[in-house]
């Protein structure tokens, strides 16, 4: 079966996480992604190595289904070869620090001159305003995009979330921009510049917290467990803060991940009160309606916990779902890695790597009926130099010379 992006050529100058997450998704959608690295390679090939001398999991889990070439962009021949690659690509993606591609001698004006149909996507930490020149990493984006201020408990420090919303979250936004640009090119015949800032993407994901900032002007946020409010949205622990109250309650045997997150919809209260052994609360005017429960959500979740702590989270999951009550046990990373159904769904995937053997990765969360994903091992550094440079007319002799001179 064909693939959605078959025939689309991506020149991938990304490194670390945000950029590689973009090009890996494009590759899974069927694009031919050629990852261009400095002769020393993407720094993450060597970072957090678990097996000596072998590309790290950081690298292997973000660079599947790509081809790899090396090229020194600071050499004259390197720049010439790069210009050739740009001419034959549909999409260029990069996430260098601000101004790095310009300093290589390839500002947007030059790139579009080389290839007017090129879609040039960049990820930076920030938009063109006051932070434009700053570098950024994951948690910096979380700090400056509204995530850290709203994560944690009111009496504790701001917290980083484990979900990589600054890196891979931005990457998904960039994929959306790139695909839209590709579609617009169908009618305009022209490529365009796609820019995504990590701070913007995180703020987009924190949209509902900015909603609550405005609601504060009209009084306390009653759905929050907090007792006092100032003029900023407070951290609210595990409260959903939305229309339906939720909390993580403890389960047996009381380990660090023996919790289940329970949401109490209006319709769920009657079966829930029965389950927890307090059926009379379904009729009690002090408890029967969402409005009556709102001022005492902490007490409500305490009642639920007095029941849940007597059962393991899987039993609680089954019992609550049998009553159609939305809930989710806190699954540890080990449980996720071992989850049979996630393996069957193709979202936890075992991949064979020529040097490290088998490793686990997260497959594609995008499932298209006519474009199935086949997760393939990431390339070794420069593995495809010969085939890609030969296609540009570089002879075997010159290739050896380029290697000796540090151009590739």
Question: What would the DSSP string read from start to end of 35-69?
Answer: EEE-TT--GGGTTT-SSTTS--HHHHTT-TTEEEE
Q: Which residues sit opposite 348 in a β-bridge? A: 362
Nearer to ligand COA, 135 or 310 (CB): 135
Q: How far is the CB of 51 from ligand COA (least distance, A)?
A: 22
Q: What angle do CA 332, 336, 341 make, to 5 degrees?
A: 145
Tokens 């993606």 map to which residue? 93
> Which residue is catalytic, options 90, 167, 212, 258?
167
Least CB distance from residue 47 to ligand COA, whole Å? 11
DSSP string, 238-269: T---SSS-EEEEE-BT--TT-EEEEE--GGGH
C-beta of 83 vs 104, nearer to ligand COA: 104
Q: Which of 375, 377, 314 is nearest to 347 (CA)?
A: 375
Identify whether the C-beta of residue 349 lies closer than 8 Å to the C-beta of residue 361.
yes
Q: Which residue lies nearer to ligand COA by CB, 20 or 245? A: 20
By beta carbon distance, the residue nearest ligand COA is: 97
Closest CA to 95 of 163, 56, 47, 43: 43
φ/ψ of 359, rounded to 5, equals -135, 155
Spell 137-175 as b/e; 16+ CB within 10 A means b: ebbbbbbbbbbbbbbbeeeeeebbbeebbbbbbbbbbbb
| CB neighbourhood size of 370 (10 A) | 8
Shortest Cβ distance from residue 50 to ligand COA (Å)? 19
318 is catalytic: no
What is the nearest approach in angstroms of ligand COA to the Cβ of residue 216? 32
Residue count of the chain: 408
Placement of tokens 């591609």 in the chain: 101
CB closer to ligand COA, 16 vs 281: 16
Look at residue 218 and give its three-state secondary structure.
helix
Nearer to ligand COA, 21 or 236 (CB): 21
Instruction: Establish how many alpha carbons lie within 13 A of residue 84's alpha carbon, considering only the half-sphere containing its beta carbon.
Output: 14
Identify the helix (H) or strand (E) that includes residue 315.
Answer: helix 313-322
State the residues that interact with ligand COA by CB under 6 A. 16-19, 38, 71-74, 95-97, 100, 103-104, 123-125, 135-137, 167
* Minimum CB–partner distance for residue 217 and ligand COA (Å): 34
Nearer to ligand COA by C-beta: 82 or 359? 82
- Our separate counts of H helices and E strands in the chain read 17, 11
Pick 103 or 299: Cβ nearer ligand COA: 103
**Which residues are marked as active site?**
167
């Amino acid at each position: 079966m064909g693939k959605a992006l078959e025939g689309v050529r991506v020149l991938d100058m990304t490194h670390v996480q945000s950029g590689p997450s973009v090009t890996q998704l494009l590759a899974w959608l069927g694009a031919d992604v050629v990852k261009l690295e400095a002769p020393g390679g993407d720094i993450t090939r060597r970072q957090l190595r678990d097996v000596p001398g072998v590309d790290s999991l950081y690298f292997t889990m973000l660079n599947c289904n790509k081809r790899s070439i090396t090229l020194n962009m600071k050499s004259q021949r390197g720049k010439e070869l790069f210009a050739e690659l740009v001419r034959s690509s549909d999409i260029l993606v990069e996430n260098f620090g601000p101004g790095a591609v310009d300093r290589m001698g390839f500002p947007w004006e030059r790139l579009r001159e080389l290839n007017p149909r090129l879609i040039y996507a960049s990820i930076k930490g920030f938009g063109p305003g006051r932070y434009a020149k700053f570098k950024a990493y994951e948690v910096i984006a979380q700090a400056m995009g509204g995530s850290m201020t709203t994560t944690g408990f009111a009496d504790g420090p701001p917290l980083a979330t484990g979900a990589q919303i600054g890196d891979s979250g931005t990457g998904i936004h960039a994929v959306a921009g790139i695909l839209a640009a590709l579609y617009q090119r169908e009618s305009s015949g022209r490529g365009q510049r796609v820019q995504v800032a990590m701070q913007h993407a995180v703020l987009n994901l924190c949209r509902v917290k900015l909603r609550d900032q405005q609601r504060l002007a009209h009084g306390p946020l009653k759905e929050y467990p907090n007792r006092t409010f100032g003029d900023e949205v407070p951290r609210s622990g595990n409260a959903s803060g939305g229309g339906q109250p939720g909390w993580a309650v403890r389960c047996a045997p009381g380990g660090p991940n023996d919790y289940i997150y329970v949401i109490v919809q209006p319709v769920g209260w009657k079966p829930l009160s029965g389950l927890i052994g307090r059926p009379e609360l379904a009729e009690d005017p002090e408890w029967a309606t969402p409005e009556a429960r709102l001022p005492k959500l902490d007490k409500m979740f305490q009642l639920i916990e007095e029941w849940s702590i007597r059962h393991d989270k899987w039993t609680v999951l089954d019992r609550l779902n049998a009553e159609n009550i939305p809930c989710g046990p806190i699954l540890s990373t080990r449980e996720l890695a071992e989850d049979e159904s996630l393996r069957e769904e193709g979202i936890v995937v075992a991949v064979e790597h020529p040097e490290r053997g088998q490793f686990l990765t997260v497959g594609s969360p995008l499932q298209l009926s006519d474009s199935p994903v086949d997760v393939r091992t990431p390339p070794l550094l420069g593995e495809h130099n010969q085939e890609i440079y030969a296609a540009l007319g570089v002879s075997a002799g010159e290739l050896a010379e380029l290697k000796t001179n540090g151009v590739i």
